[in-house]
Amino acid sequence: MIYLEWGWFAIKWFFFLWMLSYFVRFFLPSEISEKFKRMDEFLFGNIAAIPVLLSNIWFFAATILYFIGNFTALLLLALGAFMIGYSVFLHWAQFQPTAEGVYQLAKLLVDEKAAWSGATMLIAATVAVGHMWKLNLDKKQYFEKKEQEFLDQFEKKRAEQHERLKKRLGKA
C-alpha cells in the first residue's frame, strides 16, 4: 500500500512540475524548450495510447475467457452425460422393456441426486453451448460490419480523390 501512496505522490509532483514547466519555457533557451516540447508530445502520445492498450488487453482477456468457457461447457456436457449414463447403467439390471419397466427406471433415477445433478449439468451445458454459439456469431457479424464500414470509407475516399483528380485535370 505504501507503494501506491508514493506512486500517487510522485504523479502529483510530476504533474505539478510539468505544468510549472509551461510557464518557465518562455524564459529558457530554445533548445531546452524544444526538448520540453518533444517530452510533451511523447507523454501525450503515450497517454492517448492507453485506451487502445486497454481495449487490446480486454479483447485478449475476453478471447482467452471465451475458449476457457467453451472448454468448461464441453467438460460439463461430458460429465453430465457420464453421470446420467452411469446412473442408468447401475439400474439397468432391474430394467424391463415395458412401459412399467421404463416407469420404474425413471422413478429410481428421480430418487437419485447423482442422476439429477447429471441432468442439470446436461441442461446447463447445452444452454452454455448455445450462448457460446450466439456469442461467436455476434463476434463474426461485428467484425464483418467493421470490415464493411472500413471498405465503404475507403471507397468513398477513393471516389473523392478520383473526382478531385478529374477536376484538376479538367482545369489544366
Domain residue ranges of the chain, discontinuous segments joined by +: 2-171
HSE at residue 131, side-chain half, CA atoms within 13 A, is 13
Query: What is the reported pLDDT for 141?
Result: 92
Q: What is the pLDDT of residues 56-106, one digit of tens each?
A: 888 889 889 888 988 988 899 999 899 888 888 887 777 778 887 778 777
Residue-level pLDDT at 10: 82
pLDDT of residue 145: 92
Model's pTM, two decimal places? 0.54
Closest CA to 122 of 84, 69, 88: 84
Q: How far apart are CA 120 and CA 112, in angstroms?
A: 13
Q: Which pLDDT belongs to residue 111? A: 84
Task: State the cell numbers at 95.
Answer: 430394467
Q: Name the stretches of the chain with pLDDT < 70.
A: 171-172
- Specify the pLDDT at position 172: 58
- The residues, ordered by sequence, that sit 6+ positions from 112 with a Cβ below 8 Å of its Cβ are 87
